[in-house]
Amino acid sequence: MGETENGYSPATHTAMNAVQAIGKGFDVNFDTRLLYCKGVTGSKIVEIDEGHGRDIYLYDQTVLPNVSRDIKNSQEPIGRLSSGVFNFNEMVEYFNKNANVSGSFPLGSFNSAFSFTGSTNINAATTKTLSMDGFYIPLAKFHLIKSPLVLQENVKRAVPTSWDPSSLSSFIENFGTHVITSVTIGGKDVIYVKQHHSSPLSTMEIKTYVQDIGNHRFSDKDSLTSSGQIKANTSFELYRVLILAFSSVKGYTLNLPVCHLLMGK
């Protein structure tokens, strides 16, 4: 295995970047990727004790050096998880609950997963059901245990004191809407299914269809085509149900629960 310019293995380097994202700002209107974190390298939105760290040992002799004592690690179970069949608003709530975000607005990760663009009202009106089924391999979860969270002084000074759309927009651009409080490092293979409102298929038919696809994909590696996608069941017409995405179990996928940033001064 090769090494990065800092002498760390690619796995260690990726895990370090994930842990360093804890405490940073994040705009939930965007997808959950580290490249969308706010601020310059090393900057945090909330105060974290960086002066007292310890090494954390992961799998396969992977060591994360000097992790703050304010950050705790734990193990998550490996396994398959299905959302069931939801309507648009129910799936929005499902995503928000998993991300520890209050409210009924669609997150960026939700829109990205199901390829939604444009008006939320139009997306909801044209969607009959949404489903997801996946296999998850979490290697480690890191979460901020410090309580209460305290904003950095520069963030406190930047919080708008009155309703000013321009100032609020600038604040979100610089610091985001929320703070990343935990990350899960690992891999996942997830199927996202969107049913158009014109589809005549019942909820039970969709549930069975998604379950069959998952059984096929997650129990038999030979079921994959060269492109990584599964051949659709011929008893269903493709215009009725669209399989939107398959994310491979390669590298490290990050799950980013967050807490609200505008907690005031």
222 phi/psi in degrees, rounded to 5? -75, -5
* Domain-located, residue 4: no
3-state DSSP call for residue 177?
coil
* Domain-located, residue 115: yes
Beta-sheet pairing, 258-260 with 253-255: unpaired
Domain span at residue 231 reads: 10-260
The rounded Cα 227 to chain-centroid distance in angstroms is 24
CA torsion angle for 16, 159, 28, 149 (degrees, to 10)? 50
Look up residue 105 and give its two tokens: 């607005």
Look up residue 68 and give its two tokens: 């703050």
* Domain-located, residue 3: no
Q: Could you give the number of structural domains in the chain?
A: 1
* Domain-located, residue 22: yes
Distance CA 244, CA 238 (A): 11
- Cα-based distances in Å from 32 to 6, 35, 78, 253: 26, 9, 21, 9
* Domain-located, residue 221: yes
3-state DSSP call for residue 52?
coil
112 phi/psi in degrees, rounded to 5? -65, -40
Distance CA 15, CA 72 (A): 14
Look up residue 233 and give its two tokens: 């069941």
Q: Is 79 left (phi over 0), alpha (psi -120 to 50) or beta?
A: left
* Domain-located, residue 156: yes
CA angle 35, 253, 64 (to 5 degrees): 85
pLDDT at 221: 42
Going residue by residue through the chain, which has 265 residues, state the pLDDT in tens, using 9 for 90 and above. 455 556 677 778 888 888 988 999 888 888 767 777 886 666 899 999 989 999 998 876 788 999 999 999 998 888 999 999 999 999 999 999 988 888 889 999 899 999 999 899 999 999 999 999 999 888 888 999 998 989 999 999 998 888 889 999 999 888 888 888 888 888 889 999 999 999 999 999 999 999 999 998 888 544 443 334 433 333 333 333 444 433 333 333 344 444 444 433 3
Sign (positive/negative) of CA torsion 251, 217, 141, 61?
Answer: negative
pTM for the predicted model, two decimal places: 0.75
Sign (positive/negative) of CA torsion 64, 65, 67, 72?
Answer: positive
pLDDT at 124: 97
* Domain-located, residue 265: no
* Domain-located, residue 43: yes
Query: Which residues touch 199 (CB under 8 Å, ≥6 apart)?
Result: 128, 240, 241
